[in-house]
C-alpha cells in the first residue's frame, strides 16, 4: 500500500506558478526552478492542472491530445526533465486526467464527424425525439441544453460541459482501452499520481432518458457502473504500482459512494474530493451571490464526512483552496485584522484531520484574492458571463462587481507572489493575468524572512509523517453544540489528539475532556497558551493537544 495517508499534496496551476521565459505564462522550467522551495515546504506530491494541447475553451480541461504537451508550458523533453529533477527532491507528480470528455478538436471526434463509424461509437450520438425535441431534457453544467447538433447529420452529441467538450462513451470497450493506454503512457513517464476529473459521471445508462425531476444530474451521477469502470481501470493501469496515488473529483456525490470509491479492499481509488463544504456561502445554492458563510452547515459537513468516512473506512481528500475557488482566507476570515492567525487555523483544521490534505499554491504564504477593481482585469469566461447575467438580472454594476470580486475563479489563478519585485517576481513579461494587489507585502521572500505561516504549514506537513495518529487515527466530532468552534478527537490504540478551531474573530471557550489537561501542546497559533478545564479560545485560535496512552 502506498503511504498516501502521510503525504501532503501541493497543487500547481502551471500557467500561474513561475514564468521562466518571460512570455507571461508559467512553464515547466519555472517549476524546475522552484523545486527547492517545494522541498523546503515538505510536500512529496505535486498535482499539476492540465498542460495538454487544448483550444482552452474550459481552461485546458478540453483536451485535444492526451499524450502531448501544449508548447506554452514546454516540451516533452522538459517534462521528462521536470520529473527527473523532482525525483531528486523526493517529489512526484500527480497529473490531471480528464477522461469523461474530449475537446471536439480531438482526433477521435474529428474522425467521427468525418463519418468514421468506429469513432462515432466513442460518443453519445442520438437522434431528436419524434416531436423534434432534443434526445433528453438534460442541462449542461455550463448552462443551456446538454445536446448539440452532430455536424450535418440529424443526430446530436452529448456534452455535460461546454459545447466543445463531447462526452466519451465508456460503455464502448474500445474507449476504455484507449483511455487506459493514456494512463499507462504517463505512468511510463514516471508520473506518481492521477487526479481524475469528474470521474463519477462516466457510468451513463445504456438508454439515456429524460430526468423527471430536474436537470438530468441524477440520471448520470454516481451510477453503480462507475465502480465497475474504476475497478477495471485500477487493474489495467495504476493498480500495478502500489506507490501511485489516485484521487477522484466527485461531482455532487454522496458519502456512501465515496466510501466505496476509496475503500482499499475495493481497489478503485486512493481518495475522493467533494465540494459540499465550499458551498456554505452560496445563497440558496447559487454561487453568484453574497452571503456570510453558514457556520452550522460547515461544521455539520466536516463532522458528518469526517465521522462517516472514518467509520466506513473511506478516505477524504481535504482542501480549502483550488484553481476553481476564491481564496478561503477571504471567505472565512477577517483578513484585515487576522490574516495570519486565520491562515494557520484553517490549515490546522484540515492538516490534523483524517484524510490527505491539499495545499493550493500561495496558500502557504497566506495569499489573498487579488482585489481587481474593474471587469477588464478578469480573464475567466465564467466570471465575465456571470457579470453580464447579474446586470441582466437587475443588479447595479457596483453590486455585480462585488459578487465577481468575491466569487471569481480568477481569485486563485493570479500569478504566484514570489517577491515584491515587478509582477511579484512571476515574470518580467506581461503576465497572462494581472498579479494581486497585495504582492508587495505578501510574497515568498517576505514570508520566509519575517513571516510565520509557511513555517506553520511546514510543521503540519512534517507532523503528519511523524505521528501515526494524524494519518491513521479515527475521527470523532467534539463540542458539536459550539456556535463558533469546530473541534474533533483523533484516536488510535496508542494515541489521542484533540483539535480546537475557533472560526470567528470573537473569543469563546470549550470544556476540555479531563484527560487532555495532561496533554502535550502540539500545535498552536498564539505564543502563550495556558491549558485549562474551560479552555478560552482567542480570535481564530487553533489548539491541538496530544496524548500517548
Active-site residue numbers? 197, 249
Q: Give 4-7 contacts, CB < 8 A, sequence gap 24+.
A: 4/45, 4/245, 4/270, 4/271, 4/356, 5/315, 5/356, 5/471, 5/472, 6/464, 6/465, 6/471, 7/43, 7/44, 7/45, 7/245, 7/356, 7/464
Q: Which residues of 392-415 are buried (b: 16+ CB within 10 A; e: fewer)?
A: eeebeeeebbebbbbbbbbbbbbb
**548 burial type by CB count under 10 A (0-12 exposed, 13-18 middle, 19+ buried):** exposed
In the numeric block, the cell 481552461 is attached to 59
Residues 36 and 89: beta-carbon distance below 8 Å: yes
DSSP character string of 384-403: HHHHHHHHHTT--HHHHHHH
Residue 219, helix vs strand vs coil: helix
434: alpha, beta or left? (left if phi > 0; alpha if psi -120 to 50): beta
Residues 9 and 358: beta-carbon distance below 8 Å: yes
Amino acid at each position: 500500500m502506498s503511504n498516501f495517508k502521510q503525504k501532503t499534496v501541493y497543487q500547481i496551476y502551471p500557467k500561474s506558478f513561475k514564468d521562466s521565459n518571460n512570455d507571461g505564462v508559467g512553464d515547466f522550467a519555472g517549476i524546475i526552478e522552484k523545486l527547492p522551495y517545494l522541498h523546503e515546504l515538505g510536500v512529496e506530491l505535486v498535482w499539476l492542472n492540465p498542460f495538454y494541447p487544448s483550444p482552452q475553451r474550459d481552461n485546458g480541461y478540453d483536451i485535444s491530445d492526451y499524450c502531448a504537451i501544449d508548447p506554452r508550458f514546454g516540451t516533452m523533453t522538459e517534462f521528462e526533465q521536470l520529473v527527473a529533477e523532482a525525483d531528486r527532491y523526493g517529489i512526484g507528480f500527480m497529473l490531471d486526467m480528464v477522461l469523461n470528455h474530449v475537446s471536439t478538436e480531438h482526433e477521435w471526434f474529428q474522425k467521427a464527424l468525418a463519418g468514421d463509424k468506429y469513432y462515432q461509437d466513442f460518443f453519445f450520438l442520438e437522434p431528436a425525439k419524434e416531436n423534434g425535441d432534443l434526445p433528453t431534457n438534460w442541462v449542461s453544467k455550463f448552462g443551456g441544453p446538454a445536446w448539440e447538433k452532430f455536424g450535418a447529420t440529424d443526430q446530436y452529441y452529448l456534452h455535460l460541459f461546454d459545447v466543445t467538450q463531447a462526452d466519451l462513451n465508456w460503455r464502448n470497450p474500445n474507449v476504455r482501452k484507449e483511455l487506459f493506454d493514456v494512463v499507462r503512457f504517463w505512468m511510463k513517464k514516471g508520473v506518481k499520481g492521477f487526479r481524475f476529473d469528474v470521474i463519477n459521471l462516466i457510468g451513463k445508462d445504456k438508454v439515456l432518458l429524460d430526468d423527471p425531476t430536474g436537470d438530468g444530474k441524477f440520471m448520470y451521477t454516481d451510477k453503480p457502473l462507475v465502480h465497475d469502470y474504476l475497478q477495471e481501470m485500477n487493474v489495467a493501469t495504476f493498480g500495478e504500482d502500489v506507490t501511485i496515488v489516485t484521487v477522484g473529483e466527485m461531482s455532487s456525490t454522496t458519502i456512501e459512494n465515496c466510501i466505496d470509491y476509496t475503500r482499499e479492499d475495493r481497489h478503485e481509488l486512493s481518495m475522493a474530493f467533494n465540494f459540499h463544504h465550499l458551498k456554505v456561502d452560496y445563497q440558496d445554492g447559487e454561487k453568484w451571490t453574497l452571503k456570510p458563510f453558514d457556520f452550522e452547515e460547515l461544521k455539520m459537513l466536516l463532522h458528518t464526512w469526517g465521522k462517516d468516512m472514518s467509520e466506513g473506512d473511506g478516505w477524504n481528500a481535504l482542501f480549502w483552496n483550488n484553481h476553481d475557488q476564491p481564496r478561503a482566507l477571504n471567505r472565512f476570515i477577517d483578513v484585515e485584522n487576522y490574516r495570519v492567525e486565520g491562515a494557520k487555523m484553517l490549515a490546522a483544521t484540515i492538516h490534523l484531520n483524517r484524510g490527505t490534505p491539499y495545499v493550493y499554491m500561495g496558500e502557504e504564504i497566506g495569499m489573498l484574492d487579488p482585489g481587481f477593481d474593474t471587469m477588464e482585469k478578469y480573464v475567466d469566461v465564467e466570471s465575465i458571463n456571470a457579470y453580464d447575467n447579474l446586470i441582466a438580472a437587475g443588479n447595479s454594476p457596483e453590486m455585480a462587481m462585488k459578487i465577481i470580486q468575491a466569487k471569481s475563479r480568477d481569485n486563485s489563478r493570479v500569478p504566484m507572489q514570489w517577491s515584491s519585485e515587478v509582477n511579484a517576481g512571476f515574470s518580467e513579461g506581461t503576465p497572462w493575468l494581472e498579479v494581486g494587489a497585495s504582492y508587495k507585502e505578501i510574497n515568498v521572500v517576505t514570508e520566509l524572512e519575517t513571516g510565520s505561516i509557511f513555517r506553520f504549514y511546514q510543521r503540519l506537513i512534517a507532523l503528519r509523517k511523524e505521528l501515526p495518529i494524524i494519518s491513521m487515527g479515527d475521527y470523532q466530532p467534539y463540542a458539536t453544540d459550539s456556535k463558533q468552534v469546530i473541534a474533533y478527537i483523533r484516536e488510535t490504540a496508542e494515541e489521542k489528539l484533540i483539535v480546537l478551531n475557533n472560526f470567528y474573530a470573537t473569543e469563546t471557550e470549550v470544556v476540555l475532556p479531563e484527560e487532555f489537561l495532561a496533554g502535550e501542546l502540539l500545535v498552536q497559533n498564539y505564543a502563550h497558551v495556558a491549558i485549562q478545564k474551560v479552555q478560552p479560545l482567542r480570535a481564530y485560535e487553533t489548539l491541538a493537544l496530544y496524548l500517548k496512552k
